[in-house]
Structures are given as structure tokens and as C-alpha cells.
Amino acid sequence: MPVTKWNYQVTEASEIPEAIAKAFYIAQSGRPGPVLLDIAKDAQFQELDFEYKKCTKIRSYIPEHPVDPFKVKEAAELIDAAKKPLLLFGQGVIIANAEEELKEFIEKTGIPAAWTLLGLSALPSDHPLNVGMLGMHGNYGPNIKTNESDLIIAVGMRFDDRVTGKVSSYATNAKIIHLEVDPAEINKIIKADVGVLGSAKKSLPMLTMNVKANKHQAWLQEFRDCDKIEMEKVIQKDTFPTKGGLSMGEAVRITSEKVKNNAVLVTDVGQQQMIASRYFKFTQSKSNVTSGGLGTMGFGVPAALGAQLGAKDRTVCCFVGDGGFQMTLQELGTIVQNRLPVKIILLNNNFLGMVRQWQQLFFDRRYSFTELHNPDFIMIANGFGMPAHKVTKREDLEAGIQKMLDHNGPYLLEVVVEKEDNVFPMVPAGASVSDIILEA
Amino acid sequence: MKQEFIITIYSENNIGLLNRITIIFTRRKINIESLTVSASAIPGISKFTVVINETEERIKKVVGQLEKVVDVLKAFYHSNEEMVFQELALYKVPTEALYDSDQIEQLVRKSGARILEITRDFTVIEKTGHKEETQKMFEDLSQFGVLQFIRSGRIAITRDPIERLSEFLKERDALLEAMD
Ligand SMILES: Cc1ncc(C[n+]2csc(CCOP(=O)(O)OP(=O)(O)O)c2C)c(N)n1
């Protein structure tokens, strides 16, 4: 019950049609979420005269409040006056199908835009105003610049702790505009100077109409300068390493290139999730599936299966760690059974990598229960009837990825990566976004 | 600064809702000082009255979370000063004590309490008031040996001249209509 949006226990068969109708309405509207219907055995065995009426409203539930035009005006004034505005967008944009509206707004105002982990793909990766990912392992620019910005425009995001770092030293120089569909999120973590309640699909175009066309070239350049620093210190080494074992970054980069940045990315939880979110590139929206705030290892493989069912004609690339993979690998059976051509890229560092990274950086490398005794993953996949291949050397990586993508059907590619690589940049837990570090 | 607040929640009358509501408090480690649930004046709508000790800032967020529950119509919060509120207390004392002296009788008269039932063995006294008052009564009666003492949750009514729930329902109806 605590993780569902709504739940109901049905004890009489006569309640079933209405409960089902309500369940679908609630699950899909507003801020969508799982619902739980508990249909008692008695009710399952009763008979009823079936009649189904779609649910279109519920008295106690307003999925989407109408946008207040006065709030939009207030917001527009702040935007027109801002010198260093920064837009942060999250999954709210994707849920509302407001990707075009977002693009129109930033293109008219020239405002740099950064995505949250769940906002990934709402804007093409190479859009000139896309300045990358926020958060603990996000990009250098948007994190550092958050505290230099004089106006934060948050759209469909909730100031998660991975995004804000230490809240008291977050966005210290900025006024805040918050466009959000869920009233409980406005002023929850970060006090909004202007809160605009309602769907981004409606509020963004209203805002675009009310603001003046503008450019923020010098300000945008500051982000690009940060990108250069990050490229030198982190990205180059991550994605084009020349020595040592294989890196997660190069596996992600090559995969993304080979699918022409146009696949659906599904990630589990941990280092591989952060690296994939950093280096996988997107050309169309609704191309990223990850667990986000309820970060549960084991999410990746079953989610990839679901993503493939939902997007039958797209390539689904699932990156998973050796730890998380073992939490739900029984779903390989479901994948094979349903002939879903999911591509699973297992980035095997032989550790619970993300936890090991913390133990190294913050607990003097006192590794505790993070090294794994792994099974033979190739045999496991084969045991389920799924073809699989293991890559251990740099010179075999590209061909391995190509073979996986060329295969018609589900496939597991195990990439044995460097055991003790870390994910950078990093905003250490409890630190300010300004204190983001680029190396240990 | 923490202070006592009264949260009033209006909801559809659905099973399981109480759990959803209390979970919002327990998740945040907020202690519920008192909780009363009953039918409201409007048919089909339940009313929860919750007393908690918290800062206003946190209360606001809790109210936001409460309203997010699908079956909750509306939640309000008030300081004690903004409401007229009462609790009900019952005290069971040995009837013998009433015969021994007229002190109990005096106490009952003075404090506006009343006697609900007298049997050969025990007498039940009822008093309404604020917690301090019902507590004082308990302490005063203690010398005679209180066999049982029970206090209800708080019920409260706003000092506001407008009935906020009916206002809210009117607005809500308009909003629902506009959704068509
Ligand atoms: C079910 C569950 N247990 C524990 C955690 C905490 N946790 C987060 S990342 C991580 C390590 C993940 O290791 P692995 O799957 O090997 O991925 P890597 O970080 O090495 O890429 C753990 C234990 C979690 N998120 N979910």
C-alpha cells in the first residue's frame, strides 16, 4: 500500500467493473502511479451481469488543475528580468507529452536546459540548449551553475535529494519558478517564488506566449566551458580509455553510437545506471526507463522486457550490473518465452560497484560485503535458451556489441570491466552542488 | 517552533483510508496526539480530526500529502486558537466514595461534569473540556480511587463564519464540470 497511488479491496463481484475502471483512470492520469486492486477469492468466483463504464472523474481527485494565468504572468516577468536563467526539467515533461512545448519555450527564451535522471530523452541530447544531466553524478556545468543562476525554472521535477545535494546551499542566488502538476510538490523541498500548478503541456505554451524572445549566449557559453573541463578530466577517460581494463563508459558510448542514439535505454541501479545515463545519447523522447527515486536493484531486466512490449519496433538496450542482474534474472525466461529481442549488456565489475565506490571514497577502502562471487553468466543465459557472449578485451568490444545488435532476438552481452572504476563527477552525499568533484 | 495543531480531513468513506492517512504521519515520525473519525454533516463524507505537535512548515507539507491521497477531498489545519474544541472523559469511581463525603458531588457540580450512571458498586462521571480540564478532574478524583478513566479524541469546530467544506465542495463541483 505505501508505494501505490491508490488501492481498493473488492469483496463482491458486482464491484469489479467500477473498481477496474477507477483503477485505470487513477493509474494513468495526473501523476501516474501503480494502483492495487485486491479482489477477494469470493468475488473472483461470483457471477455478475457485466457492464463496463469508463471512469472519467472522481470527486476527491483532480489529476490536473487548470493553470492560473496570473501565475504565468508573474513567472514571465521573472523570466524576462533574469540574467542567468536555468531550466531544469524532469519526467513531468514526458508524462505530459510536453516535449515540443518545452523546446519552443527554451528556443524562444534562449534558456539553457538541464534534465534530471528521469527527464532524459525529453530533449534531443544534441540540442544546442541542452546542458546535460543534473544530480549527484550529473554533468559538471548544470550542477555548478545552479548556484550561479539567478532564476531556476523547474518543470515537472521534484527537487529530489540527488538533484539538490544539501538543500540549504542549493540555488542560493536564484529565484524559483516551479511548474508542476502535483500540488504537494510545490514548496515541498524548495520554496517557489512562483508556483504554477497544472500540466506542463498547458503551462509551458502559456509561458512561451508571455515571455519576450531572448538569447543568453554568454551564459550558455559558461556551460560549454564547464563541458570542456569535464571532457578533459572525466569524459575522455571514461569513454575513450586507452589503457587498463574495459570501462563502462566505452561500452555505453559504442552501443549508443551503433544504435545511432535512437534506442530505448533501460538501466538497473548503480554505477552502470549513472554511466549509461551520462553517455547514452537520445534523439527521441520516451527513450529512457529507470527506477529513479525508488531505486531498486533488479529493476532493469523486467523493465526492459516491459519496454520492449511497449515499443515493439524499437531497439531496447538494457544496462545492468552483476549485482542487480542476479536479483531478477529469472525474467530471462519470460524474455525468451515471449521472444522479446531485448539486448542486455551486463557490465560486470565483480562488485556491488556503487557501494564499493562509497566504501573506497568515504570509508578508506574498507570493502565490506561488496565483492561478489559471481556465477558463469553465459551459462545462465544459455540455460534459459538465450544466446550470450562475453567480452574481456578492448579489441573485441565493438565486434561484440555489433554481434549483439545484429542478432535477431534476445541477447546477453557480458562486458568484463575494470573492477574498481569510479563514477565522476560526484556531489558527495550531503554536500552542496557547488562542491561537485571531478576526481578523487 | 512546534505547537499544537488540529488537522481536519474530509474524505470519501472508504475502507483502508485510515491506514493511508496514518502512514503519512508515521513515515515522518510525527506522533498523533489524538485522532477522531466520524461521519461529517454531509452524507458519505467522513471527517478525521487529528491533533499533532509540529512546526507550521511541516504541517503544511503534511496537509499537502494528505490531500494527495486519492480518496481525500480536502484537509485543513488550524491552531487551537482558531477552533472551539472539546474532549470527553469518563471516570469510574467506587459509589462508596460518594456516600463517605459530599466532596465528589461538589466536584461534579463545580466542574460542570455530570453523573451518567450509579450502581451499588460504582458510579460513572462524564466531563467534557480541554485535556487540562479533564486531567485536573482525574487528579481531583484520584483521592477517592478512580477505577477507570478514559478520554476521547478531540473534536473541533472552526471559529470561521463560513463553512469551508461546503465552499470547497462548490468549487470542486465547478472544477469537475469544467473537466468535461
Ligand atoms: C534492492 C536493492 N538493494 C540494495 C540497493 C543499494 N545499492 C544501490 S547501487 C548498489 C550496487 C549495485 O551493484 P551492481 O548491480 O553490481 O551495479 P554496479 O554499481 O556495479 O554498476 C546497491 C547495493 C538497491 N538500490 N536496491
What CATH code is carried by the domain that includes residue A190?
3.40.50.1220
Q: In order of start, what are the domains of chain B with their CATH numbers? A: 3-83+156-178 (3.30.70.260), 85-153 (3.30.70.1150)
CA A187 – CA A410 distance, rounded (Å) = 45
Element (H, E) at B24: helix B17-27
What cell does B20 get? Answer: 493511508
Whether residues A59 and B12 touch (CB distance < 8 A) is answered with yes
Assigned domain for A299 exists: yes
> How close is the Cα of A322 to the center of ligand 1, in Å?
9
Query: A82 pLDDT exceeds 90?
Result: yes
Assigned domain for A131 exists: yes
pLDDT at B16: 83
Q: Is the peptide bond before A425 cis (omega within 30 degrees of 0)?
A: yes
What are A308-343's pLDDT values in tens digits? 999 999 999 999 999 999 999 999 999 999 999 999
What are A258-288's pLDDT values in tens digits? 999 999 999 999 999 999 999 999 999 999 9
CA A105 – CA A88 distance, rounded (Å) = 13
Indicate if A307 and A353 belong to the same structural domain.
yes
**Which of A9, A182, A187 is opposite residue B68, by nearest beta carbon?**
A182
Indicate if A157 and A112 belong to the same structural domain.
yes
> Cα distance from A6 to chain B (closest Cα, Å)?
6
Residue whose C-alpha cell reads 491506514 in the numeric block: B19
Assigned domain for A426 exists: no
A400-419: average pLDDT: 98
Give the pLDDT band of residue A97 (cuts 50, 70, 90): very high
**CB A96, CB A199: distance < 8 Å:** yes
Indicate if A160 and A307 belong to the same structural domain.
no
Given CA atoms B70, B73, B79, B85 in this order, what sign does their dihedral have?
negative
Q: What CATH number corresponds to the domain at position A279? A: 3.40.50.970
What cell does A324 get? Answer: 542487480
**Which of A7, A183, A188 is opposite residue B67, by nearest beta carbon?**
A183
pLDDT at B121: 95
What are A373-400's pLDDT values in tens digits? 999 999 999 999 999 999 999 999 999 9
Indicate if A219 and A181 belong to the same structural domain.
yes
What single string gives the DSSP state of each residue in A232-257? IIIIHHHHS--SSSB-HHHHHHHHHH
Q: Is A307 exposed, middle or buried (0-12, 13-18, 19+ CB in 10 A)?
A: buried
**CB A381, CB A313: distance < 8 Å:** no
**Which of B15, B73, B179 is opposite residue A60, by nearest beta carbon?**
B73
Element (H, E) at B29: none
Whether residues B70 and A5 touch (CB distance < 8 A) is answered with yes
Q: Which atom of ligand 1 is nearest to the CA of A295?
A: 25
Amino acid at site B63: V
CA B134 – CA B151 distance, rounded (Å) = 8
What cell does B115 get? Answer: 453523573
A95-112: average pLDDT: 98
Indicate if A305 and A395 belong to the same structural domain.
yes
Q: Is A1 exposed, middle or buried (0-12, 13-18, 19+ CB in 10 A)?
A: exposed
Indicate if A410 and A269 belong to the same structural domain.
yes
Give the pLDDT band of residue A240 (cuts 50, 70, 90): very high
Q: Please enumerate residues of A whose Cβ is less than 8 A from a Cβ of B.
A: 1-2, 5-9, 26, 56-62, 65-66, 182-184, 187-188
What cell does A263 get? Answer: 534506442
| Residue from A352, A374, A414 whose mutation best tests the ligand 1 pocket (most atoms within 8 A of CB) | A352
Looking at beta carbons, which residues of chain B come within 8 Å of A62? 172, 175-176, 179
Whether residues B70 and A9 touch (CB distance < 8 A) is answered with no
b vs e for A197-230, b when ≥16 Cβ sit within 10 Å of the residue's Cβ? Answer: bbbbbbbbbbbbebbeeeebeebbebbeebbeeb
Indicate if A199 and A312 belong to the same structural domain.
no
Give the pLDDT band of residue A370 (cuts 50, 70, 90): very high
> How close is the Cα of A318 to the center of ligand 1, in Å?
15
Assigned domain for A429 exists: no
The torsion angle over the Cα atoms of residues A278, A281, A284 and A287, rounded to 10 degrees, is: -50
Which of A43, A61, A79 is at the close of a domain?
A: A61
What cell does A142 get? Answer: 548544470
Indicate if A117 and A164 belong to the same structural domain.
yes
Amino acid at site A18: E
Nearest CA-CA partner of B156 in B97, B99, B82, B89: B82
**Which of B15, B60, B67 is opposite residue A9, by nearest beta carbon?**
B15
Give the pLDDT band of residue A50 (cuts 50, 70, 90): very high
Q: Which atom of ligand 1 is nearest to the CA of A272?
A: 21
Q: Is A249 in the pocket of ligand 1 (CB under 6 A)?
A: no
Indicate if A42 and A158 belong to the same structural domain.
no
Assigned domain for A303 exists: yes
Report ipTM for this prediction.
0.89
Query: A440 pLDDT exceeds 90?
Result: no
> How close is the Cα of A43 to the center of ligand 1, in Å?
40
Indicate if A91 and A2 belong to the same structural domain.
no
Indicate if A153 and A267 belong to the same structural domain.
no
Whether residues A9 and B73 touch (CB distance < 8 A) is answered with no
Which of A192, A223, A254 is at the close of a domain?
A: A223
Q: Is A323 in the pocket of ligand 1 (CB under 6 A)?
A: yes
CA A80 – CA A68 distance, rounded (Å) = 19
Residue A67 is given by DSSP the state P
Assigned domain for A237 exists: no
Assigned domain for A12 exists: yes
Query: A413 pLDDT exceeds 90?
Result: yes
Q: Is A350 in the pocket of ligand 1 (CB under 6 A)?
A: no
Indicate if A139 and A197 belong to the same structural domain.
yes
> How close is the Cα of A137 to the center of ligand 1, in Å?
15
Looking at beta carbons, which residues of chain A come within 8 Å of B172? 59, 62
> How close is the Cα of A246 to the center of ligand 1, in Å?
20
DSSP 3-state of A348: strand
CA A241 – CA A394 distance, rounded (Å) = 9
> How close is the Cα of A374 to the center of ligand 1, in Å?
15
Give the pLDDT band of residue A2 (cuts 50, 70, 90): confident
Domain count, chain A: 3
| Residue from A269, A290, A357, A417 whose mutation best tests the ligand 1 pocket (most atoms within 8 A of CB) | A269
Assigned domain for A332 exists: yes
Whether residues A184 and B65 touch (CB distance < 8 A) is answered with yes
Query: A1 pLDDT exceeds 80?
Result: no
**DSSP alpha helix (H) spans, A194-286:** 200-210, 217-230, 236-239, 248-258, 271-279
Nearest CA in chain B to A189: B61
How are strands ordered across the β-sheet holding B45-54? B32-39, B45-54, B3-12, B72-79
Residues of chain B with pLDDT under 70: none
Q: Is A266 exposed, middle or buried (0-12, 13-18, 19+ CB in 10 A)?
A: buried
The strand ranges marked E within A147-220 are 151-155, 175-180, 194-197
Which residue range is the domain that position A57 belongs to? Answer: 1-61
Which of A14, A29, A61 is at the close of a domain?
A: A61
Residue whose C-alpha cell reads 569535464 in the numeric block: A230
Element (H, E) at A93: helix A91-95
Nearest CA-CA partner of A273 in A246, A254, A250, A292: A292
